[in-house]
Structure 1
Amino acid sequence: MAKSKPTASTAPKARRPAPLALVKNDPWLAPYEPVLRRRQARLQARIEEIEKYHGSLAQYATAHQQLGLYHDATRGGYVYREWAPGAEALFLIGDFNQWDRQAHPLRRLEFGVWEVFLPDAEYKNRLTHGSLYKVHVVTAGGGKDRLPATLRRAVQNEQTKDFAGQVWQPETPFAWTDQKFKIAAAVMEPLIYEAHVGMATEEGRVGTYREFAENILPRIEAGGYNVVQLMAVMEHPYYGSFGYHVANLFAASSRFGTPEDLKFLINEAHRRGIAVLLDIVHSHAVKNEAEGLANFDGSGNLYFHRGDRGNHPGWDSKLFDYGRDEVQRFLLSNLRFWLEEYHFDGFRFDGVTSMLYHHHGEGVAFVGYDNYFGPGADEDAILYLQLATTLAHELKKGSLLIAEDMSGLPGLCRPIKEGGVGFDYRLAMGIPDFWIKLLKHTPDEHWPLGELWHTLSNRRAGEKTVAYAESHDQALVGDKTLAHWLFDAGIYTHMQAGDPDPGAARALALHKLIRLLTLSVGGEAYLTFIGNEFGHPEWVDFPREGNGWSYQFARRQWSLSENPDLKFHQLGAFDKALVQMARGQHLLAAGPATLLKHDEENKVLVYERGGLVFVVNLHIEKSLTDYRFWVTQEGQYRVVLSSDNSRFGGFDRTDEGFVYETFEHQLSLYVPSRVALVLARA
């Protein structure tokens, strides 16, 4: 007997997939779930394609092992390969052949790759450690001497200022001793010290990797920071660019020393229990043709988009074409290189907002979800970032990935399986902007505590943020550091520890309170910029024509922090106590802060986090006697940190040895003006 066909009413309905975890946590994302699923599907298809042709994502990210100049022991000589499909001819030139632009032509292979082989029998004594070289690229527009794309080391001629590649094959490879270093602690509670190696000396010159390792790492360790974030490591032709106009993505800047010197720095950091992040720039690259990748093969769009789309409107730089297979591979290989060759523990990705959107975030107010998922989104860049976070976490378990994004893209810092992009943290860029705006435009007595609390505590649930009062952005010339905004001219005239100047006393107090509020409320990680922890008196301005090529403002005056007779020393002592308190109490690993009392009239905020109670009096003059507030746990409490301690430039107006006891879930304290008290259960 024939079975009857099911009717429309009896046929089983296709089950809808469960909502993505990202959408479950934020129902406002429901209309955009199809976009999130398309992104997941595109990533999965891309990974399957990569695995089909390359075996794995990790194996795909090995362009740096196949391109460039390297010694092949099996073949018995040097191999040089370059990807330049639009070029008419390539020639390897250098001191080994007296820079003869015709002597060593490359032959064209498949997929636009060119190659030349130099056997040891002929070149062993001519192409050696320290030899200089370039590639001469001939295009329809003529011939130019260029630096290879995957160059490992570039050095600058002191006389001509030109850069050349340098063979780097030391007889004895660097001996790593960091095998037992674990980054788990730093990933759980990142306390990040953002630093620039070149400006880390007190002298007016360029500092070195070795000097940083020997002189600055001990300071970072003593200050309680467990992560150092290194800027300007990727080679850049103009020192004053702060390292953000990168030319050679695989080369550690030679102005700070050798590759072994950088490895020594990272190895020493690991010995001290400090993780090291690379401030990586994949958002754009320098437009210089002599040093960089621009128009490498004459096609105008080898690594970068063609025409106007390839130029960043605000940065005077070139924009990568993330949709091109070879560009994806080049950038992913770059991540693998820094993780494996130099043992970096992760990356702070610069300019992520610029990558995420075709408009690069310029002139756009992100006021609704359409801004994140509409036609302005650059889906190729999002795919690249998903590949990048997948690769980094796969290659180095626990690697720390931070996104510099001001747009607030939902899911940026959630796992890809949930619908996210895969970063671990995003920078809380609104916090430093808020502090500067407050100091510039609002008198102290009118500080809006509700807006202050909202700015510090408002972040996407489940997405971790790096809170900071100021980074290098706020320290650059054209702006002022917080210390400079607060002290103004007094930073040069009223910094003696015993100077009673009321303006300096106000500045000292607020500098401490701003940092305490930012660290304790603002996120799950905390960052400071080199020298700002002790209120460095000056901005950052690198040598340039406009300042007479001076190093006056491209250095750090450590002696100020070491002099106990100065307020700089007191600020540094408070920062150290604050950071060590946060580490000891595992504050950043705790949940978000809970507001217990918002007292606009008396300018007081009381809140809890990680079992600690914070009482912050921002009133300009009113000290509060018998100030009462509710706490969630009854018992005895003691002060574990007071910003009013004389060690920190305070006036010792509170008895830090006193034990406070709750009465009907309330505490009663004396809270001086412009003072923060941190209490713990006794």
Structure 2
Amino acid sequence: MSTNIARSRAKMTTTKADLSKEATPKVQPEIQPYEKPMKWFDGLVLVPGQNETRSLIDQDPDLENWDWYLNARFKHFQQSLEKLKTIYPGGLDEFSSGYLKMGLVLHDDNSITYTEWAEGIIEASLIGDFNAFNPSAHLLKHEIDEHTGSSYWTIHLPVMENGQPQIPLGSEVKIRITLPSGESLDRFPAWVLRATQSQNPPEVLFRARIERLPPIYNGARPLAPRTPKIYEAHIGAATSKPHAIGTFEEFEKNVLWRVKAGGYNTLQLMGIMEHPYYASYGYQVSSFFAVSSRFGSIASLTSLIDAAHKQGIRVILDVVHGHSCTNDMESLNMFNGTRGMYFSEDSKGDHPIWGTAVNQSWTGNYGQYFSSDTDHAGVEYFMLANHIIKTLFPFVTTIAEDTAGFPTLALSTDIGGLGFDYRLTLGPAYHLFHLLKTEPDDANWSVRDIVASLGNRRLQLGEKTIAFVESHDQCIEGGKTMSQWLFDDEIYTQMSVFQTPTPKVERAMALHKMLRLMVFAFAGEGYMNFMGNEFGHPEWLVFPSVQNGFHTTHCRRQWDLADFSRDLRYRDLARFDREMLEAEERGQWGSAELGHVWTQDEDSRLVVFTRANHLFIFNWNTKLPAKDDNLPIPEPWALEGQYRIELSTTSGVAGAVVNDLNKLILQPRSAVVISTLMELSA
């Protein structure tokens, strides 16, 4: 599960070596002390001297000023957790199984129960093509939950005498609600599992459909990998056809094997929830429990997941909490005639950049991490969700997309953290693309700034990171991919392996490899890549919209460009990406603590560091090779022995065994990963 959290700034700590001291200093914004007590914590009793989150502060002394808040947050979370266990007889399992009783539930005996939460209305009925949209045919009964006081509307439809359900599978369904004013509104059932939009004839609005829940998966699941190697994919754009939208079935048949062959152990699928506007990439969600019908059925998605599991590939679904479609007729917006049921009534309920509604208690604008501006309910939601997931499904991995280094984000809820396993950090990609945009000549890049930016994370505090060079953000229209920045126009004219490479192509090939290796080896405990970028796909994704006449021509991935038979340089980039992942699998350095940064020199432009008994050497010099006195090999690697070149950004070097690293020569713009075949002294 990947989700979205705060997009503010905060002071971040560095890795084992205090890298930031040698880099260009950056001014951190001053954070004002919070006011206490805050309304969210009204009634909370804290005993002086009893702080169960003290370990957070012991790990990160910068949190000392917010000890009261961290303790109060943890206590409030514990109380909410106990309240849930008290309210629901089945405990957390029952609480988290709302999909079994909410919405349209088609039971095994073909009877149907429909239940909807709706406050502030006076009447509700179930309508659809099955009853000619007659609001008098299936009136819902109003009930008040004895535990929560919430207002529910429900109806039970017994199975017919012929054994068939009263509402045929696939029928269109809506809920018609009547407001106290007498006004009637037709709305999508909030928990609907299926929504469709006809293309022939074309329809503007989606239609909610009754769907049967798929059977619970009982097959074998791959274990959590030591180091996640994540392949991010968009199903619709994963097709190679120029005038089509990709499907789950097509991905399973044509793409999944490429993910496996490329060395990736995790598949992350974005844009899975139903969204009316395709060009939103899945970030304007209308139905949070429905699979996007553009890509296929629930059954075809589960088939893809099952196939991935059989190949040892885990699957992560990108869960979009922070963006909800504002179309009243096909989303949660204005469900009961007001914004307040599912969203904040004020400006906090709007996301002006995306034109979406922000789900109340799910995300917010964090002006500060620990203040009255913090969305306390949103933070606690993540804590509760992660605790429930880890309690009921301990094999599940959760990842939070994070731009700011939110403190305690990837620490266990047992000690007061938010409970994610990893943070997906956007910092390295932002820094590298900023370099490409503002300084075209890599001879002027500061190697210390690169090291400081990539090392600026909270690993020493126990929080693990997924790093990447490019995600989907860098590959959508309006941006440029790494390969587009590096190759420029020659990406279309100079990619044949039979052509003598131009200086621009040589530079692009080298930096495309070096930047990926540097990010994976230095910036995280896991690695992510967006589909096609591993081989430098020559185009960004242009989703169909009004502006381009709804064409899908450039919303695809041309996988065959990297096939060996095409004799294009893309295959060399794909091969290096695979070799990099394989080298990590052999050396297991991705999950190890970062060792020592021996060299980060602006004059020689060398970066040398160790990790998991491996030596990493990067020569960022654009003209001079690194050798002899200009290649400082750290002790004890300088001693003669047996060393193996595990990976090299230049061809024909990997796999070689050398006895004396002092005789090593690194060409300009190149990098190597070296292992030792003997025990090294400290």
Q: What is the TM-score of this pair, normalised by structure 1?
A: 0.86
Residues 53 and 70, structure 2, Cα contact 8 Å, conserved in 1: no
Residues 642 and 657, structure 2, Cα contact 8 Å, conserved in 1: no
Which letter does structure 2 place at the counterpart of 1:67? M
- From the superposition, tell whether residues 681 and 148 of structure 1 become closer, same or farther in structure 2 (CA, over 3 Å): same
Matching of residues 181-220 of structure 1 within 5 Å? 181-185=221-225, 188-204=226-242, 205-220=244-259
SS of 1:70's equivalent in the other structure is: strand
The structural deviation recorded for 1:175 is 8.4
**Residue 243 (structure 1) aligns with:** 282
- Name the CA distance, whole Å, in 2 between partners of 1:193 and 1:625: 36
Q: Say if 2:508 is the partner of 1:510.
A: no
**Residue 497 (structure 2) aligns with:** 497
Residues 53 and 74, structure 2, Cα contact 8 Å, conserved in 1: no
The structural deviation recorded for 1:62 is 2.3
Residues 304 and 321, structure 1, Cα contact 8 Å, conserved in 2: yes
**Residue 314 (structure 2) aligns with:** 275
* One of 613, 616, 621 as aligned partner of 1:611: 613
Deviations 1:139-176 (A, max 9, x none): 23732322100001111122323222222249xx6585
Q: Say if 2:642 is the partner of 1:636.
A: yes
- From the superposition, tell whether residues 18 and 502 of structure 1 become closer, same or farther in structure 2 (CA, over 3 Å): same
- From the superposition, tell whether residues 381 and 484 of structure 1 become closer, same or farther in structure 2 (CA, over 3 Å): same
- Name the CA distance, whole Å, in 2 between partners of 1:54 and 1:624: 66
The structural deviation recorded for 1:107 is 2.0
Deviations 1:383-422 (A, max 9, x none): 1111011111112113111111212111111112323111
The structural deviation recorded for 1:252 is 0.9
The structural deviation recorded for 1:17 is 4.9
Q: Say if 2:641 is the partner of 1:601.
A: no
Residues 192 and 526, structure 1, Cα contact 8 Å, conserved in 2: yes
**Residue 336 (structure 1) aligns with:** none
* One of 400, 403, 407 as aligned partner of 1:406: 403
- Name the CA distance, whole Å, in 1 between partners of 2:325 and 2:572: 41
Which letter does structure 1 place at the counterpart of 2:112? Y
**Residue 103 (structure 1) aligns with:** 137
- From the superposition, tell whether residues 62 and 181 of structure 1 become closer, same or farther in structure 2 (CA, over 3 Å): closer
Unaligned runs of 5+ in 1: 1-12, 323-351, 365-370, 646-651
**Residue 72 (structure 2) aligns with:** 38
The structural deviation recorded for 1:88 is 2.7
SS of 1:578's equivalent in the other structure is: helix
Which letter does structure 2 place at the counterpart of 1:136? R
Deviations 1:244-266 (A, max 9, x none): 11110111111111111000001
Which 10-residue stretch deviates more, 496-505 or 231-240? Answer: 496-505
Report percent identity of matched pairs: 36
**Residue 552 (structure 1) aligns with:** 553
* One of 74, 77, 87 as aligned partner of 1:53: 87
**Residue 670 (structure 2) aligns with:** 675
SS of 2:316's equivalent in the other structure is: strand
- Name the CA distance, whole Å, in 2 between partners of 1:90 and 1:307: 27
- Name the CA distance, whole Å, in 2 between partners of 1:234 and 1:584: 37
SS of 1:540's equivalent in the other structure is: coil
Q: After TM superposition, what 4+ stretches of structure 1 lie above 4 angstroms from structure 2? A: 13-19, 173-176
**Residue 286 (structure 1) aligns with:** 325
* One of 192, 196, 202 as aligned partner of 1:155: 196
- Name the CA distance, whole Å, in 1 between partners of 2:48 and 2:511: 61
The structural deviation recorded for 1:101 is 3.2
Residues 222 and 313, structure 2, Cα contact 8 Å, conserved in 1: no
- From the superposition, tell whether residues 72 and 659 of structure 1 become closer, same or farther in structure 2 (CA, over 3 Å): closer
- Name the CA distance, whole Å, in 2 between partners of 1:505 and 1:183: 40
Which 10-residue stretch deviates more, 424-433 or 92-101? Answer: 92-101
SS of 2:317's equivalent in the other structure is: strand
The structural deviation recorded for 1:658 is 4.5
Matching of residues 453-464 of structure 1 within 5 Å? 453-460=451-458, 461=460, 462-464=462-464
The structural deviation recorded for 1:117 is 2.5
- From the superposition, tell whether residues 612 and 231 of structure 1 become closer, same or farther in structure 2 (CA, over 3 Å): same
- Name the CA distance, whole Å, in 2 between partners of 1:109 and 1:121: 25
Which 10-residue stretch deviates more, 234-243 or 495-504? Answer: 495-504
**Residue 482 (structure 1) aligns with:** 482
Which letter does structure 2 place at the counterpart of 1:156? Q
Deviations 1:348-401 (A, max 9, x none): xxxx8xx2xx5x25xx6xxxxxx3212221111111111011111112113111
Deviations 1:644-665 (A, max 9, x none): 10xxxxxx5x585351336xxx
- Name the CA distance, whole Å, in 2 between partners of 1:476 and 1:413: 28
* One of 99, 103, 106 as aligned partner of 1:71: 106
Residues 174 and 263, structure 1, Cα contact 8 Å, conserved in 2: no
- Name the CA distance, whole Å, in 2 between partners of 1:599 and 1:125: 73
Q: Number of residues paired by the alignment?
A: 611
- Name the CA distance, whole Å, in 1 between partners of 2:655 and 2:82: 62
- Name the CA distance, whole Å, in 1 between partners of 2:107 and 2:403: 45
The structural deviation recorded for 1:126 is 5.0
- Name the CA distance, whole Å, in 1 between partners of 2:216 and 2:74: 41
Which 10-residue stretch deviates more, 397-406 or 258-267? Answer: 397-406
- Name the CA distance, whole Å, in 1 between partners of 2:531 and 2:541: 11
The structural deviation recorded for 1:99 is 2.3
Matching of residues 14-33 of structure 1 within 5 Å? 17=51, 20-33=54-67
User: RCO (CA 8 Å, sep 6+): is it higher in 1 or 2?
Assistant: 2
Which 10-residue stretch deviates more, 85-94 or 576-585? Answer: 85-94
Which 10-residue stretch deviates more, 196-205 or 588-597? Answer: 588-597
**Residue 541 (structure 1) aligns with:** 542
Residues 115 and 155, structure 2, Cα contact 8 Å, conserved in 1: yes
Which letter does structure 1 place at the counterpart of 2:432? W
* One of 110, 114, 134 as aligned partner of 2:174: 134
**CA-based RMSD:** 2.1
Residues 183 and 399, structure 1, Cα contact 8 Å, conserved in 2: no
Residues 629 and 668, structure 1, Cα contact 8 Å, conserved in 2: no
- Name the CA distance, whole Å, in 1 between partners of 2:525 and 2:453: 15
Matching of residues 264-663 of structure 1 within 5 Å? 264-322=303-361, 355=363, 358=364, 360=365, 371-442=368-439, 443-460=441-458, 461=460, 462-499=462-499, 500-562=501-563, 563-626=565-628, 627-633=631-637, 634=639, 635-645=641-651, 652=652, 657-661=656-660
- Name the CA distance, whole Å, in 2 between partners of 1:52 and 1:430: 42
The structural deviation recorded for 1:298 is 1.6
- From the superposition, tell whether residues 593 and 228 of structure 1 become closer, same or farther in structure 2 (CA, over 3 Å): farther
**Residue 144 (structure 1) aligns with:** 185
